[in-house]
Amino acid sequence: MCLAVPAKIVEVNGNKAVADFGGVRREIMLTLLEEEVRPGTYVLVHTGYAIQVLNEDEAKETLKLWMEIARASGVEL
């Protein structure tokens, strides 16, 4: 099973970017994307690579579901 998580791009530096995963920031690679991304763009990230650009509504809905799953599992965020 693979897991990909939505993140918001904060900074772009060539083929790399800093992505925000709900307050946790990590450097990710953009080399698998065909579209150009800018700060504010939401992407789906798997193993450190952005694999898909998401529209903002889709990303926010997915993040909301992740939060519900975390709360139901007893994880404090």
Q: What pLDDT tens digit does each residue of the chain (77 aa) get?
A: 778 999 999 999 999 999 998 889 999 999 999 999 999 999 999 999 999 999 999 998 988 888 898 889 987 76
What CATH code would you report for 5-72? 2.30.30.140
Cβ atoms 45, 4 nearer than 8 A: yes
Among residues 46, 21, 22, 20, the alpha carbon closest in space to that of 30 is found at 46
DSSP state of 15: T
State the first-to-last Cα distance of the chain, in angstroms, to the nearest integer. 24
Give the span between the Cα atoms of 13 and 69, in whole angstroms: 33
H or E element at residue 67: helix 56-72
Q: pTM of this prediction?
A: 0.85
Query: What is the domain partition of the chain in residue ranges?
Result: 5-72
